[in-house]
Amino acid sequence: MTVTYVIDGSRVTGLEQFWEVIGEAVNGPGGYFGRNFDALADCLHGGMGTPDDGDFVFEWRDHALSARALGHEETARQLRRSLDRAHPSNRAALRRRLDEALAGRGPTLFEQLVEILRNDGPGVLRLL
């Protein structure tokens, strides 16, 4: 039997809220299902609350609201935060990505999350 996890897009007002919403969708209040892209990809491979047989679906309801909240502005905000902590050898690449986000170009956080959910998990993503 397929398990459906609902991501309530109306609650996603930024990246931090996304981590809370997906964690609660899979593992209940206060639940964890990643706090960064790599951790999310790892969680999708099982053992973190999803069925071991991979028979699950994510329904991202009101995804258009999330797409706006996780757009270029939030992407730039997160890149600024990363820039301060980045290894010096990675700062130029992060600065280029930040400049792109500030110009309204390049992948948004929403697009990156959708890609991970579609490509790294055995489940299905439905954008509603």
pLDDT of residue 54: 83
Q: Name the pTM for this structure.
A: 0.94
Domain shared by 121 and 99, yes or no: no
pLDDT of residue 124: 84
Please state, in angstroms and as integers, the Cα–Cα distance from residue 44 to each residue in 21, 33, 127, following that order: 15, 8, 17
The pLDDT profile of the chain, 128 residues, written as one tens digit per residue, is 899 999 999 999 999 999 999 999 999 999 999 999 999 999 998 779 998 888 899 999 999 999 999 999 999 999 999 998 999 999 999 999 999 999 999 999 999 999 999 998 777 899 99
Q: Is residue 66 assigned to a domain?
A: no
pLDDT of residue 25: 97
Domain shared by 16 and 78, yes or no: no
Which domain CATH number covers 16?
Answer: 3.30.370.10
Number of domains in the chain: 2
Q: Domain range spanning residue 85?
A: 72-107
Q: Is residue 30 assigned to a domain?
A: yes
Domain shared by 25 and 57, yes or no: yes
Q: Tell me if residue 106 falls in helix, strand or coil.
A: coil
Q: Is residue 1 assigned to a domain?
A: yes
| Token pair for 78 | 């997160």
Domain shared by 29 and 15, yes or no: yes
